[in-house]
Structures are given as C-alpha cells and as structure tokens.
Copies of this chain bind each other. A is one copy, B any other.
C-alpha cells in the first residue's frame, strides 16, 4: 500500500473520552504519531509546554500563520489554535499515521486541503452517559458541565461531515475499532495508486 502515513482527525464531545482513547491507541500500537497543536492560550495547572500544547505568544502564532507553518488554525474566543505543519509532514513521510485531536472547524479545513484525511467522531453511547462522565470527573462546576453539554449540542450539528462514528463504550473494544478504521484507510483506492499502476504496467507487458 502507500508508504506515507495518513492524516487522521479525531473529534468528539468533551467527555466522550477522546483523550483516553487516543492515549490507549498510542500505547498499544507504534505506527501512530500524535500532532501537538500550538495555542496562544495560557497553560492551565498541570499542563506542560510541548505535551498538551505548544504554548506560544500571539506574535509567534502570527508569524507561523504568515510563514505558512500551520496546516490549519482556528480562533476560539480570544485564543488561536493551530496545527504545526513541520511535525505532521515529517511523521507522515516516515510512514507514521498522524492523529490530530482537533475540533470541527479545523477538521473541515484539513479535509478541504487534504481530501484523503480520515475524519473520526467519538460519541458516548448516550447523552446521559456523556453527562455522567462529565459529572464523574469531579473537576468541573455544574456551570461548566452545563456549558460543555450546550457545546456538545452545537457540535452535534456538524457530525455528518465526519467519515466514521466511533462509539466509546468499552475502551479496549473501542481502541481496536479505532485502529481498524484507521488502517482500512491505507486500503483506500486513492492510497493504492502506486500499486495499481505497477500491476497495470506489468499486465500490459505479460
């Protein structure tokens, strides 16, 4: 199949378990690389530069935008978020499938730019379960939970733009499913053109 890694966007409601899922996927398979976004927002307690995000100044972010160093960027409230191009390209060239954990705005921009990108949307088995998980975290106030559920409502309107839905019910089964969906992408006809053309040439010479 293709030697180059594919680009995979994983989105999903806050509380759907994207983070845990992606972490487990990276731990159980070595063919993935996780893209880290750059952002102008301040790090929260416990966040480390280069781990959750690359925390950069507004000025630095603007220079990245201007020098075409981001494959997509978006603004939420007063903060910018973007995907550095350099890392993604290097990892793909090395054959790694690159995971971007970004929101729908960015997902749609990437799909437009790279139509073979796989867009995956992680859902909880039910809205009640989503609420339970947000409450169980115990880190957020009722107001924040309400805001997240409202946000989930809004995000839900964009789901149709995604290629596949992943129901995060059982973690292990879900990781296996995610891996299988991503690997299937290597068999997409558009990702096998080199092989197809080789066999075609060979056939014509037989």
Query: A-side interface residues toward B, CB under 8 Å?
Result: 1, 121, 123-124, 126-128, 130-131, 149, 152-153, 156-157, 159-160, 162-167, 177, 180-181, 183-184, 187-189, 192, 195-196, 198-200, 202-206
Contacts and interface: CB of A to CB of B under 8 A. Distances in A.
A124 B121 CA distance: 34
In the A-B complex, the 4 residue pairs with the closest CB atoms: A127-B202, A165-B192, A164-B187, A127-B203
A156 B200 contact: yes
A44 to B, nearest CB: 26
27 contacts: A1-B165, A124-B199, A126-B199, A127-B199, A127-B202, A127-B206, A130-B199, A130-B203, A149-B203, A149-B206, A152-B203, A153-B203, A156-B199, A156-B200, A156-B203, A157-B200, A159-B196, A163-B188, A164-B184, A164-B189, A165-B195, A167-B195, A177-B187, A180-B180, A180-B184, A181-B184, A184-B184
Contacts of A153: 200, 203-204
| Chain copies in the assembled complex | 2
Given A127-B199, A156-B196, A206-B131, A163 B189 contact: yes
Nearest to A161: B189
A165 B196 contact: yes
Contacts of A157: 200
Nearest to A119: B189
A191 to B, nearest CB: 8
Contacts of A166: 187
A180 B185 CA distance: 11
A33 B28 CA distance: 33
Contacts of A121: 189
Contacts of A124: 199
A185 to B, nearest CB: 9
A3 B197 CA distance: 38
